C-alpha cells in the first residue's frame, strides 16, 4: 500500500511538473515538485525508506532534466535521509515548522547540486539568486500547505469514522 | 530497522550514484537513463496532451471570430509557398545538372521526422528537451532542428522517447561558420540561451548581425543549418575574438521539432575512425565535448 501510494505520488508529480513547464516556460526555475514529494515522503517514513524514495524520485527527475545523470538522484537521497532524521529528532508537527523544513531541504538540495557540478563538470553555471529564492520559498509554501491539507483531511476522516462507529453501536 | 542499517543503505545509495555520475557524461546518456526515461516519458507526454486539449478548447472559443480571416490569409500563403516550391524544384534540377557536368558529387540529403516536445528543462544550469518520436526510432546523435534553426542533438534515445541536449547547454558544441565570410569556428553553449563562437582570429572580419550556420565538419550536423546571429564581438584572450551568438530558437516555446535521419558520416566509417586513435576520431567527437 505504501509503495503504491509512493508510485502514485511520483506519477502525479511528474504529470504536474510537466504540465507546469508547458504552461509557464520558467516553471522549473522556481518550483520543484519532485523535491516537495521527496521531503513529504520522508516526513512519515524511516530514514532507509526515505533514502530509497529520494533516490527513485531523483533518478526520475534526472531522466527528464539535462546535465549528468544521477545529480538529482544523489542530492535527493541526501535530502530525504536528513529530512527524515530531522523529523525523528525534532518531532515536527506544525505546518510552519514543516514549511521551514522544506525551505532548508531546498537549500540543501541546491547546495549539493552546485557542489557536485563544481566537482564533476568543467563549466559550471550557478543558479540565479532569484531562482534559488523562488525554489526555496515555493517549496516551503507548497510543503506547508500540503501538510496542513493532508492533516485536515485525516482529522475529518477520523471524525467521520468515529461518528460512524458510534452509530453502528447504537 | 536500526540506525546502522539506515546508514549502510544511505552509504550504498550515495556510492552507487557517485559511480553512476562518474561513469556517464552529458553527451552520451547511460542505459539506466534510457530505461527510466521510457518509464516517466509517458507521464510527461500525458501532460502535453492535457495542456493541448485544454488550450485547444479555450482557443477554439477565442479564435472562432477570426477563423474566416485566418483561412483567407493561409490560402494566400499556401499559394505563395506553392509558387516558391515550384521555383525551388527548378533550382534543384539545375543544380543537379550542373553538379553532374562539373563532376561534383553532393552528399545525399537525408530524411527527417516530426517529434513532439513533451518536456523542456530550461532550469538555469541544465538544458534539455524530451521528445515523443512516435513510430520513428530515435538514434544517438541525430540532429534536431526547427524551421528557424538548430536545436540540438539526441543524447538518450529511449524509443519512443528521446532526450535532446540543447546547443545552449554548457557541455554542447557545434562546428559553425560565419555565413558572410565562410570562416569556421566552434560554437559552444554559454548558458542563458546564448552561445560563444570560439577560434575566430582577431584579424578576421566579424560584425554584429552576421549570420552563423553549421559548418558540417563535426560528423553530426549537416552544413548550412542556421544557428543564430552574432550579437557582440570583443577582443578576447590571446589571438581570438570573443563572439557572442544569439540563437534563432526560443527554446522555452518549442512544441514540435524535426529530427534528421541523415548520417553525415556513415556509421561504418565512424566505427573504423573511432577505433583508431588520431585526428579523424577527434573531429567526429568534437560536436559534443566529453566531460
Contact map slice: B 147-206 vs A, CB within 8 A: 156, 163, 165-166, 169-171, 191-192
Residues of A with Cβ-Cβ distance to B125 under 8 angstroms: 67, 117, 124-127
Q: How many residues in total does chain B contain?
A: 291
Q: What is the CA radius of gyration of chain A?
A: 18
pLDDT > 70 in chain B, percent? 82
Cis, peptide link before residue A20, omega less than 30° from 0 = no
- From the CA of A159, how many Å to the nearest CA of chain B? 32
The answer to whether residue B126 scores a pLDDT higher than 70 is no
Grid coordinates representing B197 are 563562437
pLDDT (tens digit, 9 = 90+) per residue, B207-239?
Answer: 999 999 999 888 888 888 999 999 999 887 778
pLDDT band at B290 (very low <50, low <70, confident <90, very high): very low
Put simply, whether A69 touches B (Cβ < 8 Å) is yes
Q: Which residue of A has its CA nearest to B188?
A: A123
Count CB-CB contacts under 10 A for residue B279. Answer: 9
pLDDT band at B83 (very low <50, low <70, confident <90, very high): very high
Report the CATH superfamily, name and number, of domain B110-265.
Rod shape-determining protein MreC, domain 2 (2.40.10.350)
pLDDT (tens digit, 9 = 90+) per residue, B137-193?
Answer: 888 889 999 988 999 999 889 888 999 989 988 888 899 999 999 999 999 988 777
Is there a contact between A74 and B18 if contact means CB atoms under 8 Å apart?
yes
Most confident of A87-91, B21-25, B115-119, B216-220: B115-119
| Mean pLDDT estimate for chain B | 81
pLDDT at B262: 67
- Per domain, the residue ranges of chain A are 2-13+23-162
- Sequence-separated (6 or more) residues with CB below 8 Å from residue A128: A29, B124
Pairwise CA distance, residues B289 & B291, whole Å: 6
- Per domain, the residue ranges of chain B are 1-106, 110-265
Look at the pTM and tell me if it is higher than 0.80.
no
pLDDT at B25: 63
Is there a contact between A14 and B43 if contact means CB atoms under 8 Å apart?
yes
ipTM over 0.85: no
Q: Three-state SS for B49?
A: helix
Strand B143-145 relative to strand B150-158, pairing: antiparallel
pLDDT at B281: 41
The answer to whether residue A35 scores a pLDDT higher than 90 is yes
Q: Which residue of B has its CA nearest to A45?
A: B1
pLDDT at A127: 73
How far CA A152 is from CA of A157, B202, B256, in Å, comes to 9, 67, 43
Amino acid at each position: 500500500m505504501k509503495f503504491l501510494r509512493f508510485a502514485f505520488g511520483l506519477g502525479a508529480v511528474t504529470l504536474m511538473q510537466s504540465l507546469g513547464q508547458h504552461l509557464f516556460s520558467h516553471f522549473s526555475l522556481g518550483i520543484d515538485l519532485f523535491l516537495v514529494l521527496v521531503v513529504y515522503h520522508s516526513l512519515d517514513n524511516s530514514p532507509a525508506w526515505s533514502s530509497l524514495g529520494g533516490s527513485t524520485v531523483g533518478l526520475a527527475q534526472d531522466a527528464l532534466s539535462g546535465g549528468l545523470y544521477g545529480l538529482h538522484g544523489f542530492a535527493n537521497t541526501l535530502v530525504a535521509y536528513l529530512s527524515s532524521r530531522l523529523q525523528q529528532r525534532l518531532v515536527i508537527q506544525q505546518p510552519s515548522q514543516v514549511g521551514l523544513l522544506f525551505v532548508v531541504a531546498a537549500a540543501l538540495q541546491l547546495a549539493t547540486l552546485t557542489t557536485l557540478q563544481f566537482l564533476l563538470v568543467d563549466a559550471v553555471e550557478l543558479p540565479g539568486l532569484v531562482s534559488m529564492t523562488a525554489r526555496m520559498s515555493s517549496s516551503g509554501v507548497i510543503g506547508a500547505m500540503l501538510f496542513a491539507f493532508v492533516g485536515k483531511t485525516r482529522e475529518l476522516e477520523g471524525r467521520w469514522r468515529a461518528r460512524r462507529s458510534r452509530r453502528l453501536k447504537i | 530497522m536500526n540506525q546502522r542499517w539506515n546508514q549502510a543503505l544511505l552509504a550504498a545509495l550515495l556510492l552507487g550514484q557517485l559511480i553512476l555520475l562518474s561513469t556517464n557524461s552529458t553527451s552520451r546518456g547511460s542505459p539506466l537513463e534510457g530505461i527510466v526515461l521510457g518509464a516517466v516519458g509517458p507521464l510527461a507526454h500525458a501532460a502535453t496532451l492535457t495542456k493541448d486539449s485544454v488550450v485547444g478548447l479555450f482557443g477554439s472559443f477565442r479564435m472562432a471570430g477570426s477563423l474566416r480571416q485566418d483561412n483567407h490569409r493561409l490560402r494566400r500563403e499556401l499559394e505563395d509557398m506553392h509558387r516558391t516550391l515550384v521555383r525551388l524544384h527548378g533550382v534543384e534540377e539545375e543544380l543537379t545538372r550542373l553538379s553532374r557536368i562539373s563532376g561534383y558529387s553532393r552528399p545525399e540529403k537525408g530524411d527527417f521526422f516530426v517529434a513532439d516536445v513533451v518536456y523542456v528543462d530550461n532550469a538555469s544550469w541544465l538544458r534539455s528537451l524530451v521528445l515523443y518520436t512516435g513510430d520513428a526510432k530515435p538514434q544517438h546523435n541525430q540532429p534536431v532542428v526547427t524551421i528557424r534553426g538548430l536545436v540540438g542533438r539526441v543524447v538518450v534515445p529511449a524509443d519512443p522517447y528521446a532526450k535532446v541536449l540543447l546547443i545552449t547547454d554548457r557541455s554542447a558544441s557545434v562546428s559553425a561558420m560565419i555565413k558572410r565570410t565562410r570562416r569556421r569556428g566552434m560554437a559552444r553553449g554559454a548558458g542563458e540561451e546564448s552561445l560563444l563562437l570560439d577560434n575566430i582570429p582577431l584579424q578576421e572580419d566579424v560584425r554584429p548581425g552576421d549570420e552563423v550556420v553549421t559548418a558540417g565538419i563535426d560528423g553530426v550536423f549537416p552544413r548550412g543549418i542556421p544557428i543564430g546571429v552574432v550579437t557582440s564581438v570583443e577582443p578576447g584572450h590571446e589571438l581570438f575574438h570573443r563572439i557572442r551568438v544569439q540563437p534563432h530558437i526560443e527554446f522555452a516555446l518549442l512544441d514540435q521539432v524535426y529530427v534528421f535521419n541523415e548520417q553525415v558520416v556513415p556509421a561504418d566509417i565512424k566505427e573504423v575512425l573511432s577505433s583508431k586513435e588520431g585526428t579523424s576520431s577527434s573531429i567526429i567527437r568534437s560536436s559534443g565535448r566529453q566531460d
